[in-house]
Structure 1
Amino acid sequence: MTHSGAATQAGTALPRMAVAFELLVTVLLLWWLLDALPPQWWAVSEAIDGLPWRFVLARLLELFTLLVLLRWVARLGLGAADIGLHWCGARRSLAVALVWTLPLMACLYLLATHAALSASVPLGLDWSRLDWTYATYALVVPLQELMARGMLQSALERLLPWPGPIARWGAVVLAALLFALWHWSFGVPLALVSLFSGLLWGGLFALHRNLLGVSVSHFLLGNWAGVLGLWTLWS
């Protein structure tokens, strides 16, 4: 390798390391904010007409994360197709996602039914649990998938200094771990659920590079868990 070639490679590595460092610091900061805020910050709703401040603050943090990720995507030169924003292969990604999602919904139903026999919280199918937050999930889920899979996972895949397939699946694991960290403040059970679901959705995204299937899967499984009362059990 010539001197100029080595210098170019070193110059390329430095921005990659800088972006990776920014990524790590921001993710850890968001984790700290969610996990370290004192209980009274999350309990403001008790003083203001039941306004769900925990829900609102979590959404605001997600919007902040989106802005940071947009900067990383631009710096890494990732296009719309790279982050899953296209229709090519959308039908196949949706079909494969449903093949995984529908059996998992059946498993969640069996889990809730069995756990209801000994759980200290009410579990089981109850449509009365539906409220306005379930409708907002239709907006929240695509945003979360765009950030966690489309942007974060794709950025990690570009940043990892490994051969193609290893970087792809390494990014799946790392993005799933970070996705679990973002849910840590809601309790260890939900963080573990987020880890395993993140591996599922990350794997589906890695195969199809399309956000439609993973977003529909996330929406169905998340709302189904809520209707079954499992969110209360996990958090």
Structure 2
Amino acid sequence: MALFVIEGAAWMKRNRSDLPWTELDLAAPPGRFTAAKIAELGQDPPRCRALLAAAGNDSRPAPDRRVSETCGYQDGTALALGITPAPAGLVTSCPVAAALTVWERETQAAAQRLLGTEVRRFVHAGSFSCRRLYGREEGAWSEHATADAVDILGFELADGRRLSVLRDWQEQGAEGAFLREARDAACRSFSTVLSPDYNEAHRDHLHLDTADRGPGGWRACR
């Protein structure tokens, strides 16, 4: 019995990110509950910013933006990542900045392993957009309406290569494999990840969002 307790304690210490009650650490490898914990940070912007700082992320608060009762944000974050957003000056919610902190570390590792180089920039189509899902006139609001999402179109590598989700997703070599691994890495820190494998509407980008569905909330990775 004592051995079982000791082994159980050792397992929990090694796998803290897989436990729902442990403190989120953005510098640690992501686990089963990392995405849900990051999404919850939308309820506590000061804690979110403290966790960013503890992980060495220099992102800074951005001015609040309020378009209507359903559109806007109070935890805007001007991103400062190792993988630079292009165009520059991207502002997201704080949870998205936190999720990108975890994601970029795994994405850089995939780039080194598959492509033998680093990612310098990710090309994006923005974060905040006051609109409903798929631009419909009725129905649920998009996570973009609160800057809790970002759409990634491709990557610029340190060796000069440019990868496009639209052009290279189905490529069967290392470049296509990297794009798919970047998607899979996002699934470990974002609540929702939608790629060209999901539907035609996402044929040219990766949609990443931090929808807060609660501690045991479901995740979408397609």
Taking structure 1 as the reference length, what is the TM-score of the superposition? 0.29
More strand by share: 2
Q: Which has the larger radius of gyration?
A: 1
More helix by share: 1
Higher relative contact order (CA 8 A, sep 6+): 1
